Amino acid sequence: MRIQRGGPAVAGLALCLGALVACGGGSSGGKASPAGDTAAPPTAGATTGTSAGGPLASKRSGGHPLAGKVVVIDPGHNGGNASHPREIAKQVYVGNGTKECDTTGTDTVSGYSEHAFTWDVSNRLAKILRSQGAKVTLTRKNDTGVGPCVNQRAAVGNDLHADAAISIHGDGAAASGHGFHIIEPLAVGKNAKIVAPSAKLGTALRDAYHSGTGISYSTYLGTKAIDKRSDLGGLNMSTVPKVFIECGNMRNKGDAAKMTSASFRQRMAESLAKGFDDYLG
């Protein structure tokens, strides 16, 4: 999420947040996913429920602990961002200043893009949560569009009065660093009331993700995989409990091997679903 590839007018962190259409994990524009990583994500509409398989769903088949809970999932970046640099470079208000509407994201050395990664994991997670009775909305409808802007991504959760929201990313740090981390909001104004519940959500997701995937805490950022920031519009503009997760460092060979594996992305989604169950159930 840190490295921006494509879109010369856009620079800085590749974190994208927010809104009505969604920001999806993105990076190198037209780069294709590596061979062997073509397992398609679920194609159900953003608000259409589908049943989920997998170990987590099987274990919970006897009940629906998340019934009626509203969850918003924000797949970082979007597939069309790189070809629309002017649109995503537009400045938007993020609570304590302005930032780019969106960014392109990062990718693995082999060319698997962050926007494709976040779209896949987000759909897998949505499928599991819906099977448990949750009402799930994604902030973008596909992986071929542009944006939405980070403030719009936050507005999706706000408008739905979500019980919890998450923005899913893959980091683009130096290749020597590895592991995952959660980003929690610092108070910048309108988000002050959600700082404490967001910290609880972050801890629940961190513990479940670490336990379920075996991925280590980040070796290069955060304290025990928790980082707190005040520069992300998706968190600054949120009025519902929300965190970001950098699921791994896409520039690190070991993390990339996991993130380009369809079966491991399913494992990531199941682990995150367990975190939501722990927080909301």
In three-state secondary structure terms, 244 is strand
CB 61, CB 192: distance < 8 Å: no
The span from the CA of 219 to the CA of 109, in Å, is: 20
How far does CA 213 lie from the centroid of its chain?
16
Spot the catalytic one: 100, 114, 184, 246: 246
CB 196, CB 274: distance < 8 Å: no
Residue 193 CB coordination number (10 Å): 12
Strand order in the sheet with 70-75: 135-138, 70-75, 164-171, 242-249, 181-185, 226-229
Please say if 184 is a catalytic residue.
no
* Residues annotated as part of the active site: 246
